[in-house]
Homo-oligomer: A and B are copies of this chain.
Amino acid sequence: MRQNKIPQATAKRLPLYYRYLNNLNRQGKKRVSSKELSEAIKVDSATIRRDFSYFGALGKKGYGYNVEYLLGFFRSTLDQHETTEVALIGVGNLGTAFLNYNFTKNNNIQIKMAFDSDEEKIGQIVGGVPVYGIDEMMERIEGISVAILTVPVSEADVITEKLVKAGIEGILNFTPVRITVPEDVRVHHIDLAVELQALVYFLKHYPLQSK
């Protein structure tokens, strides 16, 4: 379970590979080469082969990769056989977008419950997920190890503290706040304003074409 040898950069690409293989499989494709994959997902073909090779020799020379086999392999590598249950905190626009996203289609990830402090929202079912009051969070969240944080900035720190107390292990943080957690809690940040500004910066300072 903890064969910690795969580079982080590779690990980040695995879900991407997995989803595309799923697509191919649905389309009934039987084989695929690193070159084809490369064109579809915009990752250098040598990088793809290298990535796959960390898991052993999954392909066949002169043929490519067997889609079904590869898919099955990634399914178990990405623990897709067991469903990961997730909680979402903050049912605003962004939170609602997540609730309506069907993660279970490609990934065995399921948002099991959501929390909000707005009386209007409590008790509703959004995207098939029940919304509870924040005050119920501590009891209800037990057994869930991953949280998506889509609350306003002002709430971020307080909620994070509660999540940590409730034993959460991973947080996908969409607030601009760099939340503070014990070192055994993993936080991934997605900062929408930063991403947008970075794109603008790259546009002005890193001309493409010539490259």
Give the chain B neighbours of A198 by CB distance below 8 A: 11-12, 14-15, 188
What chain B residues lie within 8 Å of A106 (beta carbons)? Answer: 193
Which residues, 1 to 15 on A, are CB-close (under 8 Å) to B?
A: 1-4, 6, 8, 11-12, 14-15
For the complex, count residues of A whose C-beta is within 8 A of B: 65
C-alpha gap A56/B190 in the complex (Å): 29
Q: Which residues of chain B are within 8 angstroms of A191 by Cβ–Cβ distance? A: 15-16
Interface assignment of A206: CB less than 8 Å from any CB of chain B: yes
Quick check: B94 and A11 within 8 Å, CB to CB? no
Q: How far is the CA of A176 from the CA of B204 in the complex (A)?
A: 26
Number of copies: 2
User: A194 in the interface, Cβ–Cβ < 8 Å?
Assistant: yes
A60 at the interface (CB under 8 A from B): no
Tell whether, in the assembled complex, residue B195 and residue A190 are in contact, meaning their CB atoms are under 8 Å apart.
Answer: yes
Q: Is the CB of B98 within 8 A of A203?
A: no
Give the segment of A78-86, A131-139, A156-164 that binds chain B: A78-86
